[in-house]
Amino acid sequence: VPCSGDGTSRKNKNVWNEWSIPQAMSLHKLQRKILRRGLELLRPGGLIVYSTCSLNPLENEAVVSSVIDDVGGTDKVKIVPLPAWLTTKFKAMKGLSTWLVPTSKYGKANKEEDVAFDMYECYADVPAKLKSGKITPSMFPVV
């Protein structure tokens, strides 16, 4: 799916010149739509691979876990391990089960905003003024 590309920084040194928190956060909704549509089109017993070149949990674990939750949980969608032939070629790690969600202006303080360095563990902690679509429940770990 389209992604912010932060995972390509070793080979693409310019990625950080273009990368931003708001851009990465804005991709979350599109990534969810693509994965959800892929699951709708998937035949019973079929296999779908969700992949980004990002290291950001908002583009990876948050997308996968929230979409699986939306469609009925792991009773409806099974996450399978990578095949052995693939894991012998590189080291695979389990995905994250917890992460923090930043404000879209994280680190960019100004006089009007007091939330420039806030990160949130759950949607209930997000101030009402940030719940207008910039930070959504699907960005947080599914409990």
Q: From the candidates 21, 39, 53, 100, give the one annotated as an active-site residue.
A: 53
How far apart, in Å, are the Cα atoms of 103 and each of 20, 23, 70, 107, 117? 12, 12, 24, 9, 7
CA–CA distance, 106 with 101 (Å, rounded to integer):
10
Clarify whether 53 is annotated catalytic.
yes
Q: What is the DSSP string of 28-79?
A: HHHHHHHHHHHHHHPPTT-------S---TTTTHHHHHHHHHHTTGGGTS--
What number of H helices and E strands is found in the chain? 4, 2
The residues carrying an active-site annotation are 53
